[in-house]
Every structure is written in structure tokens, then in C-alpha cells.
């Protein structure tokens, strides 16, 4: 997938699997800038047409079942991309339709972001296997979970550093460790942020207040204070370590402005690669479908 993403990036208009144009439904139950833009642009680049749907304007918002909606979509679109709350909704959609269903972020996972993140790390560091990645902050978040699974798959050493009350889902950690046992990577949880960051090649964070938990903001800001990525914490990582953030970022909270906007930050490459990585994903899925 990453090799295809690199090829797509080098030859932006060279793949036209959606020529027609065929339509891809891109559905949002939550806000988005990067995901909306990158899927809309990417689908157009592939010769297709994006149909952006805000759930609130559709019958999906608790009115019509996911299964019935899936059957309506599959008669007309080439693929469904959906940003939603519970992962179970996506699984119900995928089970109810013959067209590919892409997770554009759920409460539990953000896999499209990880494709882009791995592409970006590869561009800056060469081979992925053997690199050490630390994710600091909300260990229960979609990003922490997807970091565990994606880095384990790539043979990397991934450490999640989160306060005791915000640990990743143990089932996801166990799954990542099982994958890592086969790839030569590792997956661990290290509560102390300084210990976790020491010697890292890649330092990653995300908002402390993901979409859906806004009412917990005050308690989260207090709980995560020592996990803020600032110059002092970055100095514990390798001297050539890179800093990543899926964005949107909140300067002064999960990351200081000098790190986010500093020389080690590769956030704009990361944001751009959403386009290339997701195009590769769509090309691959459409090939599988035949």
C-alpha cells in the first residue's frame, strides 16, 4: 500500500479507476477539514466524483438503519467512506454492502491517518522496521489504537504513553503485540512520558479532547498536563527525531508552538500525504473488488 502511495504521489493523475465518472459517497457524522478535502480531491484525481454527505442532512442520522442505507448506496456508488462514532456502525455498513467501506475515523480507530503517517515517516526515515515511535497523550483514542496496530504491522517499536486512567483498550494492545511478534516489532505502554520518549525516532501526539468527549475537557487538560510535547520532552528523543500530529492541533496544550512549528515537525507533509495514501487505498480496494 505504501509503495502504491509513493507511486501515486509521483504520478498524481496517472491512475483513473473511477473514470466514468463513478461516484464515491463520503459521509460525515463528525467535523473534518483534512479528511473531507483529501477524499474529495483524491476521488476527483482518480477520475471519479465525490458525493459529500453530512449525516444530519440525510436519513442516516438515527432515522433509517445503517443496513438499509448500505443497500441504497451500493446500487449507485463505487465505494463508501464514512467518519462516524462507534466502529460497530462501520462494521454493520461493511457487512451490509458489496462495495468497499472505508473508515474515515471512528471513536476507536483512524486507519487512513496511519497510512499517511507511515508514508510520511518512510519518506523522512527510509525503512520503517526497527524505528521507535512514541505516542503521547490519550491512550484510549482512535489515534493511539491505530498507532499500535499500524506500527506493529510495519515492524516498528511503538510505545503508548498515557496517564493511568487513559490507557489503550487492552484488546488492541494484545492484538498489536501478536502482530509485532510476527513482524519483529513491539508494542508497549509506558506511563512515564520522559521514559517513553527517551531514544525515540518519531514523537507523536494528538488532541487531548477528541470529538465526542468535549464535555470532559477540564478534567482531561488537568490529567494530561505532563504529556505536553515541548522542547524539553523532545530533547529526550534522538537528535534527528521527527514530530508528528494528525491535526487539528491545540498549541500550548498537547504540543508547544515551538515544537509544532519547529524544524523537527513534519506535520504538513503528513497532512498532504492523506491525499496520496487514501488514493492508494481506493485504487487497491477497487482492484480487490474487480
Does 246 bind ligand CP (CB under 6 A)? Our answer is: yes
Nearer residue to ligand CP within complex by CB, 38 or 69: 38
Decide which of ligand CP, ligand NVA, none touches 33; Cβ closer than 5 to 8 Å per partner kind.
Answer: ligand CP
Site track for ligand NVA across 241-270, x = CB under 6 A? -----x------------------------
Task: Tell me the window of 2-10, 26-34, 158-166, 254-262 that interacts with ligand CP (CB under 6 A).
Answer: 26-34
Q: Kindly report the backbone phi and psi dihedral angles of residue 11, in degrees, each rounded to the nearest multiple of 5, phi listed first.
A: -135, 75
Catalytic site residue from 34, 36, 110, 220: 110
Cβ at position 213, least distance to ligand NVA in Å: 8
Element (H, E) at 221: helix 217-223
Residues 194-223 binding ligand NVA (CB under 6 A) are: 206-207, 210-211
Q: Is 110 a catalytic residue?
A: yes
Q: Does 141 bind ligand NVA (CB under 6 A)?
A: yes
DSSP 122-175: HHHHS--TT-EEEEES-TTSHHHHHHHHHHHHTT-EEEEE--GGGPPPHHHHHH
Contact in structure between 115 and 1 (CB atoms under 8 Å) = yes
In the complex with ligand CP, the residue whose CB is nearer, 34 or 220, is 34
Cell of 197: 520518549
Cα 154–chain centre separation? 15
Return the residues of window 77-106 that contact ligand CP according to CB under 6 A. 105
Distance CA 129, CA 153 (A): 9
In 3-state terms, what secondary structure has residue 14? Answer: coil
Residues that bind ligand CP (CB under 6 A): 32-35, 105, 113, 246-247
Catalytic residues: 83, 110, 113, 206, 246, 274
Amino acid at each position: 500500500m505504501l509503495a502504491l502511495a509513493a507511486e501515486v504521489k509521483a504520478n498524481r493523475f496517472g491512475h483513473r479507476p473511477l473514470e466514468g465518472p463513478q461516484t464515491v459517497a463520503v459521509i460525515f457524522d463528525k467535523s473534518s477539514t483534512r479528511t473531507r478535502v483529501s477524499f474529495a480531491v483524491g476521488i476527483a484525481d482518480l477520475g471519479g466524483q465525490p458525493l459529500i454527505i453530512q449525516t444530519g442532512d440525510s436519513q442516516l442520522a438515527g432515522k433509517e438503519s445503517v443496513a438499509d442505507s448500505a443497500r441504497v448506496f451500493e446500487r449507485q456508488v463505487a465505494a463508501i467512506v464514512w467518519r462516524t462514532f462507534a466502529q460497530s456502525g462501520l462494521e454493520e455498513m461493511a457487512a451490509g454492502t458489496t462495495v468497499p467501506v472505508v473508515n474515515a475515523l471512528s471513536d476507536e480507530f483512524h486507519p487512513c491517518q496511519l497510512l499517511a503517517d507511515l508514508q510520511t515517516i518512510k519518506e523522512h526515515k527510509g525503512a520503517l522496521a526497527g524505528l521507535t515511535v512514541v505516542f503521547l497523550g490519550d491512550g484510549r483514542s482512535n489515534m493511539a489504537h491505530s498507532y499500535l496496530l499500524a506500527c506493529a504491522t510495519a515492524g516498528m517499536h511503538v510505545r503508548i504513553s498515557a496517564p493511568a486512567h487513559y490507557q489503550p483498550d487492552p484488546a488492541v494492545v494484545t492484538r498489536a503485540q501478536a502482530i509485532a511478534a510476527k513482524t519483529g516489532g513491539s508494542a508497549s505502554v509506558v506511563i512515564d512520558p520522559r521514559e517513553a520518549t527517551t531514544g525515540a525516532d518519531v514523537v507523536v501526539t494528538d488532541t487531548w479532547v477528541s470529538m465526542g468527549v468535549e464535555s470532559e475537557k477540564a478534567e482531561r487538560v488537568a490529567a494530561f498536563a505532563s504529556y505536553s510535547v515541548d522542547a524539553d520532552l523532545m530533547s529526550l528523543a534522538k537528535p534527528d527525531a521527527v514530530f508528528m500530529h494528525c491535526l487539528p492541533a491545540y498549541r500550548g496544550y498537547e504540543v508547544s508552538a515551538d515544537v509544532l512549528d519547529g524544524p523537527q515537525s513534519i506535520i504538513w507533509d503528513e497532512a498532504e500525504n492523506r491525499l496520496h495514501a487514501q488514493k492508494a487505498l481506493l485504487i487497491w480496494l477497487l482492484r480487490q473488488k474487480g
